[in-house]
Amino acid sequence: MRRRSNGWLFKRPDAKGWYIGYYVDGRKVREAAGDRKADAAELLEQRIRELDDGRWQPPGKELTFDDLVELVRADYRANGRKSLDRVEQCVKHLARGFGRATAQDITAARLAAYLNDRLDEGAAASTVRNELNVLKRGMHLAVRGKQLASRPPFPQITPANIRTGFFERHELDALLAELPEAVRPVIRFMYCTGWRKGEVLSRQWRHVDLVAGTIRLEPGETKNGKGRTFPFTALPELDSVIENQRAYTDTVERRTGQIVPWVFHREGRPIKSFRTAWRGACKRLRLDRIPHDFRRTAVRNLERASVSRSVAKGLVGHLTDSVYDRYAITNERDLREGVTKLARMGQDRQILTLPDPNRTRQAAAGGSA
């Protein structure tokens, strides 16, 4: 056996040809290297370079981009994560840049090139970051499973397009006027509750307690896995939405002779998406908004109403203060109202005039004379 810098060449007495040996994370790896000693030495040097560059893979299997993606899918399913559909959207774009690549081919330079290409196409920085995070997760899982020695450094992306949008009441009213009638109750519900689009569209009447006046999300249906309840009768606008939807559902059921399980529907058919209608309405109004802005709006409205943070988080569905803070947006109107309250407080207080110390001393001197 002959040792080299980070590995060694050797022959086995029970086999022909040369072998190479090296260590990966403290584990000894042996690999057949052919009949010629020079070829074995060259292969060993190649393996050492791959280890240094983070491109090494276990002998006998070449890890591919598809393998990395499948690791991510399996991880999401095993952990019951709800955003697998977003992963699939990211994979569609990633496949254009890495579809036929092996894990060894995915280098820091290639990752940087993908980043620049996507930005040149007009993709938002946050979108590209999410795409690369899927690939990063796959490589992390491969390293953890000893399928890959290490992963290359991924480019750092700081999105400059972090959304801070929310709806003022007049914008909501204008949007409702532009949307189809079946979609309007969905939008009003999202405005009042701040619930996610998927959470709202998936509600069925079994989730509604008309007697108690509550609508609920079951544990496991939400992004954080926690259940949630919203007392809709306490908010007249929201109560009106549920009441009207129940009446509409009863009418459709009588006309069709079928049970309609969905709270929000088009003539008994569930509403799966309203993207086209939304985009058209926003374009006509020249309004740059997305449905997720209703979450920010709901948090802002709760803050304005001085609802306690613990209650607000329970209603909207935020587990931590850090996530809640991202949605608790303060705009110019909020700041102006805050200063107005401060001024009003100053007017309500009695202004006390302190005596001038110089005049006090002068008066005392005159009295003693």
Condensed to tens digits (0 to 9), the pLDDT of residues 260-287 reads 999 999 999 999 999 999 999 999 999 9
pLDDT, tens digit, for every residue of 19-35? 888 888 777 888 878 88
- The two structure tokens encoding residue 53: 């560059």
The pLDDT value recorded for residue 136 is 94
Beta-bridge partners for 20: 9, 31
Note the pTM of the prediction, 2 decimals: 0.55
Q: pLDDT tens digit string along 64-108?
A: 899 999 999 999 888 877 778 889 999 999 999 998 888 878 888
Q: What is the mean pLDDT of the chain?
A: 82
Q: What per-residue confidence (pLDDT) applies to 122? A: 80
Which DSSP helix (H) or strand (E) runs through 214?
strand 214-217
Rg (CA), the chain: 32
Answer whether residue 172 shows pLDDT above 80: yes
Question: Could you tell me the pLDDT band of residue 164, with boundaries at 50, 70 and 90?
Answer: low
Higher pLDDT, 176 or 101: 176
Distance CA 79, CA 205 (A): 28
Strand, helix or coil for residue 44? helix
Sign of CA dihedral 207, 202, 137, 327: negative
CA atoms 132, 133, 139, 142: torsion sign: negative
Determine the residue type at 260.
V
- Nearest to 210, CA basis, from 180, 249, 173, 172: 249
User: Residue 175 above 90 pLDDT?
Assistant: yes
Mean pLDDT across the stretch 305-331?
A: 66
Task: List, in sequence order, the alpha helices (H) in 30-82.
Answer: 37-53, 65-78
- Tens of pLDDT, residue by residue over 341-361, are 545 655 555 444 445 555 555
Please, what is the end-to-end C-alpha distance for the chain in angstroms? 115
Q: Facing residues of 10 across strands?
A: 19
CA 257 to the chain's CA centroid: 41
Q: Is the pLDDT of residue 3 over 50?
A: no
